[in-house]
Amino acid sequence: MTPFPAGLSSAWAPIALSRQLRAKPLARQIGGVPIVLFRGVGGAVAALEDRCPHRNYPLSDGKLRDGTLMCSYHGWRFDGAGACVEAPGAGEAAALGRLGARTLAVAERHGAIFVKLEVGDGPPPQLELPPLVGDPDHDHFWWTRDPWRGRALDALENILDPFHTNFIHDGLIRVSRARQPVRQTLTFREDGFEVAYDQDDPDRGWMSRLLEGERQRSVGRYIPPITFQGRWEGPKGLTLCATAFFVPETQERYRAFGCWTTPKGRAPAWLKRQAILAFVRPVSEQDRVALDKQHATITAFGGPRFKSGPTDRVTVPLTRLYQGERLEPGVDGPHTIWL
């Protein structure tokens, strides 16, 4: 099985937050491809393969000069469209037209920078984002961390899996000694699925109680290839939405980006941000440590060998979609589970 999701190269993937790209080039990687980001003329973001077309020096080692990126090996300069605008030492008449660097489709929107690895012929592709991300009727903020070790697939399974919350996040989200009945319903579409959790009482962990109030329903969606979206709903509708992107950098490392969305008006955006971050920081650290241990074990044994139990209902549809297969539309459930 490929360690990268089948649709990765044709998907828009976040690569950096806007605030992370300033006056220096930024080296990143997606699906094993080194990429350099920089701000060209007027601050417009540019994404090039991080490989100078001259002698394949890393362009991210270079410097910015008047909105162009100058390679530090021989000083060739490239503009935001990848065109070579100077090859020092050649004199005025040098023809540079065929010396350009390879560009990627790039878009900066709502505080994040997205790229698409595969650019076909024709007009530049339009950015597509999951529902609610950047929606003007809601407050949003982004969260990201340095890359985590492991497979993006395991991170996606982790975030779709509620059963680890009683253990890894014991006391924060749910509690292991006081499980409660929840109705779980899976709905499959050809190109994605969602899992709804209906419950009469909110989760018993203190973070859940603090942040959510009266929760009635939560829904976790997998939007292939790299995106999870969780929505929490109370009697008056959406209370919180988390969109998480797990971007594989290499076969053994991924970078997570989260966009947190709340309806406008109930509390100031900065206060909601602080409250949510107080929850995200410890919970994400617990997941990072767990996924790191899982990956170390998988690596020590030369690869994964999983046995799925009666609660592992998302594993098969998740893995199939990740590998580029399609699902049979349908509904599975409701099942009563104990969380």
195 and 219 Cβ atoms separated by less than 8 Å: yes
Which one of 24, 74, 236, 281 is in contact with ligand FES (CB under 6 A)?
A: 74
Per partner kind, with CB cut-offs from 5 to 8 A, the member of Fe ion, ligand FES, none near residue 287 is Fe ion
Would you count residue 157 as binding Fe ion (CB under 5 A)?
Answer: no
Within 38-97, the residues that bind Fe ion by CB under 5 A are none
Region near ligand FES per CB under 6 A, out of 66-74, 110-118, 175-183, 205-213: 66-74
Region near Fe ion per CB under 5 A, out of 24-32, 98-106, 286-294, 311-319: 286-294
Task: Annotate 53-65 with DSSP letters as a single string.
Answer: TTT---GGGSEEE
**Cβ atoms within 10 Å, residue 274:** 10
Would you count residue 287 as binding Fe ion (CB under 5 A)?
Answer: yes
Per partner kind, with CB cut-offs from 5 to 8 A, the member of ligand FES, Fe ion, none near residue 19 is none
Cβ at position 76, least distance to ligand FES in Å: 4
Which one of 63, 73, 263, 319 is in contact with ligand FES (CB under 6 A)?
A: 73
Nearest to 257 by CA among 125, 138, 110, 45: 110
104 and 49 Cβ atoms separated by less than 8 Å: yes
Instruction: Find all residues with CB under 8 Å of 281, minimum gap 6, and list them.
Output: none
Nearest to 104 by CA among 8, 236, 209, 196: 8
Q: Which is nearer to ligand FES, 48 or 113 (CB)?
A: 48
Cβ at position 74, least distance to ligand FES in Å: 3
Nearest to 8 by CA among 136, 133, 123, 115: 115
Please tell me whether residue 178 adopts helix, strand or coil conformation.
Answer: coil
Q: Which residue ranges make up the site for Fe ion (CB under 5 A)?
A: 287
Q: Which residues bind ligand FES (CB under 6 A)?
A: 52, 54-55, 57, 71, 73-76
